[in-house]
Structure 1
Amino acid sequence: MAHVVLAGGGTAGHTSPLIATAERIARADASGSVVAVGTPKGLETTVVPAAGLRLELIPPVPLPRSLTVDLLKVPWRLVDSVRQARRILSREKADVAVGFGGYVSLPVYLAARTMGVPVVIHEQNALPGLANKVAARFARLVAVSFPDTPLPGAQYLGLPLRSSIAELDVEARRGEARVGFGLDADRPTLLVSGGSQGAQSINTATLGARAELLAAGIQILHVLGPKNISDADVVVTDDTTGARYVPLGYVDAMEDAYAAADLMVGRSGAGTVMETAAVGLPVVFVPLPHGNGEQARNATFLVDGGAALLIDNADFDAVRMAREVRALFDDPERLPAMRRASRDLVPPDAAGALAERVLAIAGSTNAGSARPRRS
């Protein structure tokens, strides 16, 4: 019986693998306990309880990118968050602390370190965040989603995915998924999605390329993002080919959208990259042009492996989109080859592999081989 505390939050990039791993831990050790730690400001306050997991909250410790008064407050905020994280670990009798990055993870890592609780980290991005860079120096296990993530002792396990994604039977689901979105069951299908919030540049290019793609007989499922859709976004059908453009603000079950599609155009966040690779969906990635370049880095191994294309955001417009998408659909061998390559490039069942290792570390703690517990 293992007592596992998992930390991660802020965005879906942290919460989704946490939930997927927690589900597999609970399935493998039904008599144990699993609790998640997040902050009051993150996505975890809704998605973690919705997944049936118990959630404990501690204050976030954001790190300002410039020298401001807030930067001077970081040590005091961190001390307070570590103190609260220690209370949670002690109360839960934690055998292992598992972190997925984000503001909440560093206090939990440091609390576990001071208590002798073994730490496991999982890094979602090809370029690691600060919390995981710190914890990698003392973690018992450093698991990564991408094969070239620069962390000491990194083990390439892949990204833990929900079972609905990891176990998706695309061929069996395709026709039903298309019909469910109001599409033709047998027509070539393009999925466009800029992530949970949408992407304005991709949306603009799609609207500009829409007429040409529909005229070519390619139907389009366009997920614009909940803040980007309006009454002006309506279903459009080409009078000649009958191909249909279907706009949506958000899709709750992305596995259905993946199953419906032959090709996707979208951002290259870690979740999107690994989910599409796992289900074998070819993608034209248009990385977010901000941050430290992690989105472009995320997609590199798929591009190098022949499973995806990558176009800079600055170069992506309606003309480029129509040309690239039509070229892929016009080549009868290209998309099947990309689909096969994609599936061969990612480890199977990352959530199960990570859960197995976490429970093994928890088991060694229970056996008394890891450390004396300090409160």
Structure 2
Amino acid sequence: MKILVTGGGTGGHIYPALAYVDYVKKIDPTAEFMYVGAKRGLENKILPPTGIPFETLEIQGFKRSLNPAATKDNIKTVRLFLKSIKQAKNILKKFGPDVVIGTGGYASGAVVYGATKLKIPTIIHEQNSVPGVTNKFLSRYVDKIAVAFPDVAESFPKEKTALVGNPRATSVVDVVPSDILKEYNLDPKIATVLIFGGSQGAMRLNQAMLEAFPLFAGKNYQVLYASGDRYYEEIQVQGFDWDQLKNVSVVPYIDRMAEVMINCQLLIGRAGATSIAEFTALGLPAILIPSPHVTNDQQTKNAQSLVKAGAVKMLTDAELSGALLVKTIDEIMQDSKLRQKMAEASKKEGIPDASQRLHALVTEITKK
């Protein structure tokens, strides 16, 4: 089988696609893949090391402003989109895929739309609780729509839509508990809170952590904080008494995140779709602080669906402080029954067989 995957701009579009590719490689070593992204997207850093054949399109998004400069830019956007459809069709004809899967982003729009015009079976995957502009546009043309949250299904044609989950969940389910926390100078036998703000870190979360560090002294749990490179040096020069904070470990980045997650009892971070897929697959309770800078406030909607399920507590970026953060952590970490209840709710929301479900859709539409 030949599978063309397209999507990009952010890791939230790219990592689910790659997780699905990894799954198919395991069950069908003869499968062939191609990835198509945008020339200026994050995929240009992530894809080359994977060895997957990779093509790019010159494309950009629409500006929401109505000023003359934005209008001029939007005219260019339309021109690039039409040009990209033509380029996409050439790539599709050359590769000859049995199916095209789009995971969001503007490049995905051109490729999937081009595939529908060439009568190639198509699927789009929506990771968030609110549909992205590209997937909303493509929904009327594609054969199937795979969603990660039940709530978003209402935004798409019912007869095409299936609850699949996020393939990143499948990538973490085989991870087993270990002594990895020793690598961060922590005791694997002590309950651990994992805190991170994404690969770059998060300014408001870091400000709250600077206030929170002294408050962690003497707690009966330990804290692992991945600050992001940009904030790591700022923390080192604050003059904290680290001898009094031996239950706290600060690192710029965590490479083996899934392995660390499974050895922790509570997660704190943003409400991105990839992170949610991972911690719910593992059945972790969480405190989520949605980023207010995401289109359509997607992260807040993602978090709210899990709050409703009882799997997480949510704090807003605006209200976040060190005192509030530690108070909320204590409420969960000092109440084992609450923590267990949240963990069970999280596990129930997780879809660890997401890649299998997505592949079932692929099989369904390619056998027609």
State if a TM-score over 0.5 links the two structures.
yes
Q: Work out the CA distance in 1 between the residues paired with 2:175 and 2:6.
A: 27
Residue 138 of structure 1 is matched in structure 2 by: 141
Q: Retained in 2: the 8 A contact 1:237–1:245?
A: no
Post-superposition Cα deviations, 1:20-59, rounded to whole Å, max 9, x if no partner, equal 1112223333223111111221121222232332211111
Alignment partner of 1:151 is 2:156? yes
Is residue 307 of structure 1 aligned with residue 311 of structure 2? yes
Of 10-19 and 157-166, more deviation after overlay is shown by 157-166
Structure 2 partner of 1:182:
185
After TM superposition, the structure 1 = structure 2 runs for residues 56-135 of structure 1, keeping only pairs within 5 Å, are 56-67=55-66, 68=70, 69-135=72-138
RMSD: 1.9
Does structure 1 retain, via aligned residues, the 8 Å contact 2:271–2:289?
Answer: yes
Q: 2:4, 2:137 → 1: CA distance?
A: 19
* Structure 1 unaligned spans of 5+: 365-375
After superposing the two structures, state which structure 1 stretch, 317-326 or 339-348, moved more: 339-348
- From 275, 278, 291, give the equivalent of 1:275: 278
Q: What residue is the counterpart of 2:248 in the other structure?
A: 245
| Cα distance change on mapping 1:356 and 1:48 into 2, 3 Å | farther
Q: Does the 8 A contact of 1:8 with 1:14 survive in 2? A: yes
1:44-59 correspondence runs (5 A): 44-59=43-58
Per-residue deviation, 1:342: 0.7
1:163 deviates by: 4.7
Partner of 2:4, secondary structure, is strand
Partner of 1:345: 349
User: Is 2:169–2:278's contact at 8 Å kept on the other side of the alignment?
Assistant: no
What letter corresponds to residue 32 of structure 2 in structure 1? S
- Cα distance in 2 for partners of 1:313, 1:113 equals 41
- The Cα of 1:94 is off from its aligned counterpart by 1.6
- Give the conservation status (yes or no) of the 8 Å contact 1:25–1:359: no
| Aligned equivalents of 1:162, 1:31: Cα separation in 2 | 24
Residue 162 to residue 328, structure 1, CA distance change in 2 (3 Å): closer
Q: As a proportion of its length, which structure holds more helix?
A: 2
Give identity over the alignment, percent: 31
Contact 1:16-1:162 within 8 A present in 2 as well: no
Structure 1 contact 10–41 (Cα < 8 Å) conserved: yes
Give yes or no for contact 1:127–1:297 (8 Å, CA) kept in 2: yes
Aligned partner of 1:166 in structure 2 is: 173
**Cα 1:165–1:214 shift into 2, 3 Å:** farther
Which residue does 1:208 correspond to in 2? 211
How much has 1:338 moved relative to structure 2? 1.2
Stretch moving more, 180-189 or 308-317:
180-189
The corresponding residue for 2:4 is 5
Q: Match for residue 30 of structure 1?
A: 29
Change (3 A) 1:62 1:254: same
Aligned length: 358
- Aligned counterparts of 1:93 and 1:5: Cα–Cα separation in 2: 9
| Counterpart-to-counterpart distance in 1, 2:260 and 2:25 | 28
The alpha-carbon deviation at position 259 of structure 1 amounts to 2.1
Q: Please state if 1:292 is matched with 2:296.
A: yes
| Distance in 1 (alpha carbons) for counterparts of 2:167 and 2:149 | 12
Q: Distance in 1 between matches of 2:342 and 2:180?
A: 21
Q: Does residue 357 of structure 1 match 2:361?
A: yes
> Is this contact kept in 2: 1:215–1:238, CA < 8 A?
no
Q: Mind listing any 5+ residue stretches in structure 2 that lack a counterpart? A: none
Q: TM-score, normalised by structure 1?
A: 0.90
Distance 1:197 1:107 in 2: 29
| CA–CA distance in structure 2, aligned partners of residues 49 and 25 of structure 1 | 19
